[in-house]
Structure 1
Amino acid sequence: MSTDHRVPHRAEPSQPVSHRWIAAITVANVGLFTAWFGPILTLLGLQTQRFAGSDKEAALAWIVGIGALCSTVATPIFGALSDRTVSRYGRRLPWVVAGTTGGVLSLILLAVAPGLIVVGIGWCAAQIALNANFAAITAAVPDHVPRAQRGIVGGFLGLAQTVGGVVGTGLAVLAGGIAGGYLACAVFLVIATLPYLAMRRDHPLDPAEREQFSWLEFGRGFWVSPRRHPDFAWAWVTRFLINLSFAIGLVYLLFYLGDAVGHHSPAQGVLVLTAVNSAALLATVLVAGAISDRTDRRRVFVCVAGLVMAAATTSLALWHVWPVAVVAVAVLGLGMGVFTSVDLALMIDVLPAAADRGKDLGVVNIANAMPQVLAPVLAAPLVSSFGGYGALYGVAAALAATGAVLVYKISTVD
């Protein structure tokens, strides 16, 4: 499909998107999350274990935390830039190309990294590049998808996130070593992104509509006033708390299996748990999004999802045995399936301004990225000094439950 010149970029979409477009953007997101989760779930942990030895927890915390800080800054900046980009190919697609290219080069650098410093540099570069891609692809959803389809599209994108975790972990484990894992993730990223780019569906920005650039106004635009937009603020807080809960448990999953559960092969254990989580997510992610669209209700789904996730992490806090870990991760997948599908639709429903969709969704992504910064900071002392993995997953449960309750502070969305 050629670039669409007919729909003003500020207009609320009214025409349903095709199954072909949904499939293409879903596969592109699978590639993106494969490039993220292959390193996060397995490869970075194996590298820090190789280079840092007994200090692996602290080394991983620094690398993941600094990388997530780069992600926190990069996504709203690239989202804002894509809002203003004038190109014959549209506003978003040039940044998808740039982000994919930069992500591949960064993964290659990680594959040949000789020590922790280069690992840190490579991961920061990967976070910046992949978030350019992520900002542009995410902004395409409110650009093209009408309200009545946002739940189901959010369901497919939530599915893509989990499938990306499975594919990334599988490539990391089965590709023949750390270098092979990174290169496999890079190749898969390119293959998965090409069908979406080939559709060339984007809304070009008329140069006459582009506001005169000002660094001062550009910087000010990243602040979304909670007083003027309270529902956006409460939705952001809800997403932040539930994502922080998930990130706290995720960042040390490899070490949890090895140190607390005593699994004979923690890397393979992560692969099994990721697959179980994905299978459970499949049971709810598309169904929840479709029911949310049909009933035009969002808050109850997010609330139930948070409480289910809190129950799952509570069981991980209390019982450090492999069968409980499998069941808990399955329950966590059920909750995450509901949350990832409906929460994206909820966030799009409360965006402050159509002209700033890319920038505002970049601000939304801070609620995803900042937990990755804070999770290692909170997790390291919890594991080492304040109760071990029981305390770690207990805090995760409390955060998810709090987010579940606070979603009802949103007043303009049912």
Structure 2
Amino acid sequence: MTTDELIHPKLTEAAHEPRQRGLMLLLLLANSSMLAVYTGVGSVLLPTQIAQIDPAGKVTDLGIVGGVSAVFATAFNPIAGALSDRTGRRNPWILGGALASLAGLAFLGSVRTALLVGIGWCLVQATMNVYQAAVTAVVPDRIPPVRRGTASALVGLGLPIGGTVGVMIASQTAERLQVGYLMLGGVAAGAALLLAGFCRDVPRREPSPPVSRRERLAAFLSALSHHDFRWAFIGRALMVLGYFSVMAYQLYILDDHIELPRKLAPTEAMAILTPVSMGAMAVSTVAGGLLSDRWNRRKVFVGLSAALAGLVTVIPVVSPTWPGMLLFSTLNGLAFGCFMAVDTAVVTLVLPRAQDAARDMGVLNMANAGPQIVAPFVASAVVTALGGYTPLFLLGGALSLLGALAILPIRGVR
């Protein structure tokens, strides 16, 4: 620390304020670009490409591709994070992951068989999770604890912003798939270049001591042995599984189940529904977090939002129309946004031990990633075996309602 910093700490903090604001905006851009790839490809381009290759088997094909690729995503995120920690640098992983994803997306846009599409999407998921792991680590590296709340809020806005941008790009390029893939890859690569160019790596830290598989498993089991944490984990897993079981097939739902206006194509409908849903999600994320803080009540927000997510799945069942789908998307976005915002606060309040907070939050992330692996397989089996999307909506709703009930046994939070 310099003499000026010792004598004038507040002046030094003020000098760092513009730099911190600039960094947080770059983090918002990086997270938004990443989510633009995930949603634009996963919701529009990939289902469109698979439907063109195999119209009769598209539901099963998408389920297999989505499920297998999610395994790659789940595996590569912690691996890349550990390697990034070991080297003590983030920028090479940010740049390398984004540029490799651009190459993978270019490959994905050029293939014409379901097998190669699956291989291409697995490559993109793997490389994007290298990018994601390094970008996520920038917050604890560079943002002081007193600014973490603001940083987390900005990172959270990456989903509605990136989701909307990604689906808009994908919808406009659905008839030119290779262009769409390259545009989304270019967005991620551009954001990575900006972040790496303006955000220098922090000095290398001492690597964490290695942890054996047995110790990691013991840590996992010890966290889930805690009553409140276990129920929070179950509720999150059920809600995420219900949400993604339906949303992964939204393009096919619009094509095969919903009665759209005559001149509205399914991809165009997606370009309308996504901003509606993401806008509602952004509003409820902020409102739910603020109101739950003000009233110091968490369980009621989590329970009611999960229950709402379950109940609104009935709307496309009884009214498989365009107005019905608009209403469903709005209410579902409100419910999911509020749930994810306030449930995260619940989890931080029921962590078993403060000194193991990072480890236990990592355990909770399995409730996010695991259901996204299972969801495509479950959804594909339900649609294929039960003949249509009505059973899929009802299953998604039932899972969300069970997620609402899972909040009730938690005792340590009001």
TM range, smaller chain? 0.7 to 0.9
- Per the TM alignment, residue 355 of structure 1 is displaced from its structure 2 partner at its CA by 8.0
Unaligned runs of 5+ in 1: 1-14
The amino acid across from 1:252 in the alignment is Y
When residues 148 and 397 of structure 1 are mapped into structure 2, their CA distance, relative to the original with a 3 A threshold, is farther
Deviations 1:128-158 (A, max 9, x none): 12122223333555664648963x6544333
The amino acid across from 2:253 in the alignment is Y
- Per the TM alignment, residue 320 of structure 1 is displaced from its structure 2 partner at its CA by 0.9
Q: Which residue of 133, 136, 154 maps to 2:134?
A: 136
Is the CA contact (8 Å cut-off) linking 1:155 and 1:288 kept in structure 2?
A: no
Tell me which residue corresponds to 1:12: none
Tell me which residue corresponds to 2:250: 253
Tell me the SS of whatever aligns to 2:406: helix
- Per the TM alignment, residue 271 of structure 1 is displaced from its structure 2 partner at its CA by 1.4
Aligned counterparts, 1:10-409, within 5 A: 18-82=20-84, 84-87=85-88, 89=89, 92-141=90-139, 144=143, 146=145, 150=149, 153-175=151-173, 177-200=176-199, 204=203, 206-207=205-206, 210-211=208-209, 213=210, 216=213, 220=217, 223-263=220-260, 264-294=264-294, 297-348=297-348, 361-386=361-386, 388-409=388-409
Q: How far apart in 2 are the matches of 1:94 and 1:411?
A: 44
Could you tell which deviates more after superposition, 275-284 or 341-350? Answer: 341-350
Q: How far apart in 2 are the matches of 1:237 and 1:148?
A: 30
Is the CA contact (8 Å cut-off) linking 2:95 and 2:193 kept in structure 1?
A: no
Is the CA contact (8 Å cut-off) linking 1:97 and 1:133 kept in structure 2?
A: yes
Tell me the SS of whatever aligns to 2:220: coil
- Per the TM alignment, residue 59 of structure 1 is displaced from its structure 2 partner at its CA by 0.9
Aligned-CA RMSD value: 3.1
- Per the TM alignment, residue 178 of structure 1 is displaced from its structure 2 partner at its CA by 0.6
Q: How far apart in 1 are the matches of 2:81 and 2:221?
A: 14
Q: How far apart in 2 are the matches of 1:356 and 1:126?
A: 32
- Per the TM alignment, residue 401 of structure 1 is displaced from its structure 2 partner at its CA by 1.6
Tell me the SS of whatever aligns to 1:206: coil
Q: How far apart in 2 are the matches of 1:409 and 1:139?
A: 33
Could you tell which deviates more after superposition, 299-308 or 59-68? Answer: 299-308
- Per the TM alignment, residue 358 of structure 1 is displaced from its structure 2 partner at its CA by 6.6
The amino acid across from 1:181 in the alignment is G
Tell me the SS of whatever aligns to 2:55: helix
When residues 119 and 233 of structure 1 are mapped into structure 2, their CA distance, relative to the original with a 3 A threshold, is same
Asked which structure has the greater CA Rg, the reply is 2
When residues 81 and 411 of structure 1 are mapped into structure 2, their CA distance, relative to the original with a 3 A threshold, is farther
Is the CA contact (8 Å cut-off) linking 1:78 and 1:359 kept in structure 2?
A: no
Deviations 1:340-386 (A, max 9, x none): 33334444555567887776555433322322322222222322332
TM-score, structure 1 length as denominator? 0.83
Is the CA contact (8 Å cut-off) linking 2:23 and 2:199 kept in structure 1?
A: no
What is the number of residues matched between the two proteins?
Answer: 393
When residues 350 and 71 of structure 1 are mapped into structure 2, their CA distance, relative to the original with a 3 A threshold, is farther
Tell me the SS of whatever aligns to 1:112: coil
Tell me the SS of whatever aligns to 1:261: coil
Q: How far apart in 2 are the matches of 1:332 and 1:232?
A: 25
When residues 220 and 385 of structure 1 are mapped into structure 2, their CA distance, relative to the original with a 3 A threshold, is closer
Tell me which residue corresponds to 1:8: none
- Per the TM alignment, residue 200 of structure 1 is displaced from its structure 2 partner at its CA by 2.8
When residues 183 and 252 of structure 1 are mapped into structure 2, their CA distance, relative to the original with a 3 A threshold, is same
Could you tell which deviates more after superposition, 70-79 or 41-50? Answer: 70-79
- Of all paired residues, the percent bearing the same amino acid is 30
Is the CA contact (8 Å cut-off) linking 2:53 and 2:113 kept in structure 1?
A: yes
Deviations 1:7-46 (A, max 9, x none): xxxxxxxx99954443322221110001111111111111
Tell me the SS of whatever aligns to 1:238: helix
Unaligned runs of 5+ in 2: 1-15
The amino acid across from 1:85 in the alignment is R
Is the CA contact (8 Å cut-off) linking 1:243 and 1:368 kept in structure 2?
A: yes
Is the CA contact (8 Å cut-off) linking 1:76 and 1:363 kept in structure 2?
A: no
The amino acid across from 2:243 in the alignment is F
TM-score, structure 2 length as denominator? 0.83
Higher relative contact order (CA 8 A, sep 6+): 1
